[in-house]
């Protein structure tokens, strides 16, 4: 009897573990291979289950005798797999995205219960937005992978592609769940420290280690600056979130009710917090808004985590999907900092014979340090590379990665390293860079620019040229540039040569000397059109307008004294030799002269409070402002020293700003004003840029003729508005085309003093008529208004301009149509 009771007692003790099963696994996206966090994993026919973590992993411990396991997640096709009798088993899932269609939700009585949750979350934004912190620092790990996917049969049949796939046959092929090949072309890892301070709002990233492997990547210095966490920041407590230079409205934006509908799905526990699980829907499927799921804590109404997608119906080009997954963690002060963020951007095939692209970004942050702000001078450069940023070996990365690489990511590294060594890949990648930058790297020098290799116009006839510049392999302190060209009609040699000494790369400081002999045009000077390459090329082919031969020498200095504040100073000598019938009246001798020389001293300042600057090899590159305007003030003093013929002064002011107007779209304005003090020939005045070409440019007045107006005092405003999908998204047939409206308003006030008018005679010494310049009435501005459509066939833009004033001038066209091509998302 004792043995029986003892046996029964032991059996009772064993019952809790009898039939205990531990089921683990990972849930991933079948198309991208990326983890799916927050998915629901459930033993079918029971209430036993769990959710996947941010890496897509799940663990279920149960005594239940269920025979299958089910995984569901919004936007994906559910999947069921059988269970075995084993006590420990691993079951992985690869879910395929579903063709998700938005549905209308009707609430029969009362307000949608999700609205009150969102309303409270918006009211609490000021407590949880990380921008409320005085300062914070984080240690970040970022990795980026770019793959070629959607590799069509037509694409693989190309000879160049077959050469690549033949080489890769010896490597493990990466495929998605349907066996389609994925071809990785880029992989990077970055360890950095990110710094933020408020009042003023400043950011800086110090890249401690970076590892970049990519097709066509010859030097990682520039790439390492833009692959860190500074360019991967997504704060949903902002009203608008910038992705690929497009602004998307946050689900908890102040004006949320105008953009979104919501559905309260469930109440769940996440890391000890009880949270509302809400589904969000754009009210209009083509708006730049998210769909997906957000989790908001019940006690504080803080954002806990998000899983959001920009669907392919949105008014974007080439983009099939943008997906953002993020986990947020509260700081000791209350505001939230993203702990982990994953972004996927899927770019579709442009044509059936091409392939698509898949870009994947992952950032994790730890070691948070609060409210110890660095001085303002610390933020003078947005991204800084440590001197030994690229010296970490594989052992270092294995020790310091916040998350280990998966088996698939290790295969990606091997494949990318192999791809970049294949000759045909190197040929095509170098060719693309040559076309995009204008220069071809050859050792320590870059040859180019290719637009200067060949020109043809009425002055030079056929013109052939060649140039070079040194690169970072030559020196990070010296930059040498040279260019030479010959015109077979005018039989003149043109040249440009310069040497630049980089004195300080941290507080960008340079000293340069340039000598140039070139053909230029009054009002179409090369120096003022460097950022408008297509317009410049079009204006320099065919018939040149008021051409002159310029011989100039320049000594220039610049230094960034603190964040955003750049100081410039220089001396310049310029010889003006006209190649058209030009004269001016010398007031001292009362004689007509053709040539003249100016000697100028220049000083200027530029201030961009939140302008993002990186150092691209030996150049300073601006990514533009985020919120505040950019200001420039310049002063020039013309002297009758060192051969200068005139004494005069020039003062100018320039401002540029990008304005986000919410659902109305985005505006950009440029304000330009200046004054010339003294008596000078009209080529020294402000010759306002007109546009007689077919091509649109925002740098010119598009209904103004070349050399139509010049001024010695002026003020202009150029205002451009991009409606994105506003208005046209609401028209049933038009919205399928994804056209976008644009609008322009250009206004110019100007005048010329009598003394400068007298310097421009209307006849030459032989009595032949001379072309001079037109003048604006001080009380009547030049006004042109425009409207147009962009995103036609994804590439083209057509603008229609109406000239409103000065319609009686010779050869005026009151209406003009301008076209342009652009690659925009």
* Pairing between β-strand 591-593 and β-strand 584-586 as defined by DSSP bridges: antiparallel
Q: Are residues 698 and 820 in the same domain?
A: yes
Q: Are residues 688 and 766 in the same domain?
A: yes
Cα–Cα distance for residue pair 37/31, rounded to 1 Å: 15
Mean pLDDT over residues 805-813, rounded?
91
Buried b (16+ CB within 10 A) or exposed e, 234-261: bbbbbbebebeebbbbbbbbeebeebbb
State residue 177's pLDDT score: 39
Q: Are residues 83 and 158 in the same domain?
A: no
Residue 171's CB is within 10 A of a number of other CB atoms, namely 13
**Per the domain annotation, does 491 fall within a domain?**
no
| Mean pLDDT, the chain, integer | 83
**Model confidence pLDDT, tens digit, residues 341-396:** 998 888 876 666 666 778 888 999 888 899 888 888 788 777 888 888 888 788 88
Mean pLDDT over residues 286-308, rounded?
91
**Model confidence pLDDT, tens digit, residues 523-557:** 877 777 766 656 666 677 888 889 999 999 999 99
Among the three residues 366, 395, 426, which one is the final residue of a domain in this structure? Answer: 366
Q: Are residues 282 and 172 in the same domain?
A: no
Q: Are residues 341 and 380 in the same domain?
A: no
**Per the domain annotation, does 175 fall within a domain?**
yes
Quick one: angle between helices 407-419 and 159-168, nearest 10?
Answer: 130
Per the structure, the count of domains in the chain is 4
**Per the domain annotation, does 80 fall within a domain?**
yes
CA angle 449, 450, 451 (to 5 degrees): 95
**Per the domain annotation, does 342 fall within a domain?**
yes
Mean pLDDT over residues 803-815, rounded?
92
Q: Are residues 689 and 784 in the same domain?
A: yes
Nearest to 73 by CA among 46, 43, 94: 94
Q: Are residues 284 and 264 in the same domain?
A: yes
Residue pair 804/784 in contact (Cβ under 8 Å)? The answer is yes
State residue 511's pLDDT score: 97
**Per the domain annotation, does 495 fall within a domain?**
no
State residue 253's pLDDT score: 92
Q: Are residues 378 and 359 in the same domain?
A: no
Q: Are residues 734 and 823 in the same domain?
A: yes
State residue 7's pLDDT score: 44
Q: Are residues 210 and 310 in the same domain?
A: no
**What are the C-alpha distances in Å from 491 to residues 473, 549, 552, 576?**
36, 13, 20, 19
What SS3 state is found at 437? helix
**Model confidence pLDDT, tens digit, residues 436-463:** 677 888 889 999 888 888 889 999 999 9
Among the three residues 73, 95, 117, which one is the final residue of a domain in this structure? Answer: 95
pLDDT at 672 over 50: yes
Give residue 42's domain range. 2-95
Give, as one character, the DSSP assignment of residue 20: -
pLDDT at 685 over 80: yes
Q: Are residues 195 and 57 in the same domain?
A: no
């Amino acid at each position: 009897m004792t043995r029986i009771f003892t046996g029964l007692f032991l059996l009772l003790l064993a019952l809790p573990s009898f039939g205990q099963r531990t089921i683990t696994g990972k849930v991933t996206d079948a198309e991208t291979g990326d983890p799916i966090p927050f998915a629901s994993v459930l033993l079918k026919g029971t209430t036993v289950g769990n959710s996947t973590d941010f890496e897509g992993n799940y663990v279920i411990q149960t005594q239940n005798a269920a025979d299958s396991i089910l995984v569901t997640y919004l936007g994906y096709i559910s999947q069921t797999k059988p269970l075995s009798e084993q006590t420990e088993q691993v079951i992985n899932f690869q879910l395929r995205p579903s063709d998700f269609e938005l549905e209308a939700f009707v609430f029969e009585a009362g307000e949608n219960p999700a609205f009150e949750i969102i309303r409270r979350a918006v009211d609490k934004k000021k407590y949880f937005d990380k921008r409320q912190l005085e300062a914070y620092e984080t240690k970040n790990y970022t990795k980026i992978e770019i793959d070629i996917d959607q590799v069509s049969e037509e694409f693989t049949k190309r000879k160049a592609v077959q050469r690549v796939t033949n080489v890769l046959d010896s490597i493990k092929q990466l495929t998605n769940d349907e066996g389609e090949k994925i071809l990785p072309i880029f992989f990077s890892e970055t360890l950095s420290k990110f710094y933020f301070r408020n009042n003023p709002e400043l950011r800086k990233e110090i890249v401690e280690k970076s590892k970049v492997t990519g097709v066509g990547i010859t030097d990682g210095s520039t790439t390492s600056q833009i692959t860190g966490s500074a360019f991967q920041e997504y704060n949903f407590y902002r009203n608008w979130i910038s992705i690929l230079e497009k602004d998307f409205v946050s689900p908890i934006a102040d004006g949320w009710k105008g953009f979104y509908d919501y559905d309260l799905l469930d109440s769940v526990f996440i890391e000890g917090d009880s949270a509302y699980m809400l589904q969000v829907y754009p009210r209009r499927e083509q708006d730049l808004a998210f769909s997906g799921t957000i989790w908001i804590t019940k006690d504080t109404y803080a954002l806990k985590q998000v899983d959001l997608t920009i669907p392919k119906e949105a008014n974007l080009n080439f983009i099939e999907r943008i997906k953002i997954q993020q986990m947020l963690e509260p700081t000791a002060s209350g505001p939230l900092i993203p702990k982990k963020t994953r972004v996927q951007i899927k770019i579709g095939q442009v044509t059936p014979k091409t392939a698509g692209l898949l870009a994947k970004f992952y950032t994790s942050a730890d070691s948070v340090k609060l409210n110890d702000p660095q001085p303002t001078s610390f933020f003078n450069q947005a991204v800084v590379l440590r001197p030994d940023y690229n010296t970490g070996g594989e052992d270092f990365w294995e020790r310091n990665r916040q998350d280990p690489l998966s088996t698939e990511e290790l295969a990606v590294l091997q494949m990318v390293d192999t791809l970049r060594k294949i000759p045909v890949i190197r040929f095509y990648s170098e060719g693309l860079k040559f076309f995009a930058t204008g220069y071809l790297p050859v050792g320590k020098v870059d040859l180019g620019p290719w637009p200067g290799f060949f020109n043809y116009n009425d002055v030079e006839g056929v013109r052939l040229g060649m140039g070079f510049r040194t690169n970072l392999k030559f020196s990070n302190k010296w930059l040498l540039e040279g260019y030479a060209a010959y015109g077979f009609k005018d039989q003149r040699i043109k040249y440009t040569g310069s040497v630049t000494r980089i004195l300080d790369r941290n507080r960008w400081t340079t000293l340069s000397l340039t000598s140039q002999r070139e053909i230029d045009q009054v009002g179409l000077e090369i120096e003022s059109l460097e950022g408008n390459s297509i317009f410049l090329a079009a204006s320099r082919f065919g018939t040149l307008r008021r051409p002159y031969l310029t011989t100039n020498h320049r000594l220039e200095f610049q230094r960034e004294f603190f964040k955003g504040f750049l100081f410039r100073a220089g001396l310049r000598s310029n010889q003006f030799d006209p190649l058209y019938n030009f004269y001016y009246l010398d007031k001292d001798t009362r004689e007509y002269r053709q040539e003249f020389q100016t000697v100028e001293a220049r000083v200027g300042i530029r201030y961009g409070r939140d302008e993002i600057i990186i150092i691209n090899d030996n150049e300073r590159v601006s990514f533009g402002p985020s919120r505040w305007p950019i200001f420039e003030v310049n002063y020039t003093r013309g002297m009758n020293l060192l051969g200068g013929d005139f004494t005069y002064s020039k003062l100018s002011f320039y401002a540029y700003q990008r304005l986000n107007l919410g659902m109305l779209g985005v505006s950009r304005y440029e304000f330009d004003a200046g004054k010339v003090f003294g008596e000078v020939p009209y080529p020294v005045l402000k010759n306002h840029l007109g546009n007689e070409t077919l091509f649109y440019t925002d740098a010119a007045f598009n209904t103004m003729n070349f050399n139509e107006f010049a001024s010695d005092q002026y003020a202009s405003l150029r205002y451009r508005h991009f409606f994105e999908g506003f208005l046209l998204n609401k028209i049933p047939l038009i919205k399928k085309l994804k056209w976008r409206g644009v609008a322009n308003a250009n206004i110019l006030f100007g005048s010329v003093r009598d003394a400068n008018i007298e310097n421009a005679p209307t006849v030459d010494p032989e009595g032949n008529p001379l072309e001079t310049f037109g003048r604006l009435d001080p009380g009547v501005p030049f006004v042109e208004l425009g409207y147009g459509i962009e995103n036609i066939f994804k590439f083209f833009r057509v603008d229609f301009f109406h000239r409103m004033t000065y319609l009686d001038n010779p050869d005026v066209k009151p209406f003009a149509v301008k076209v342009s091509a652009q690659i925009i998302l």
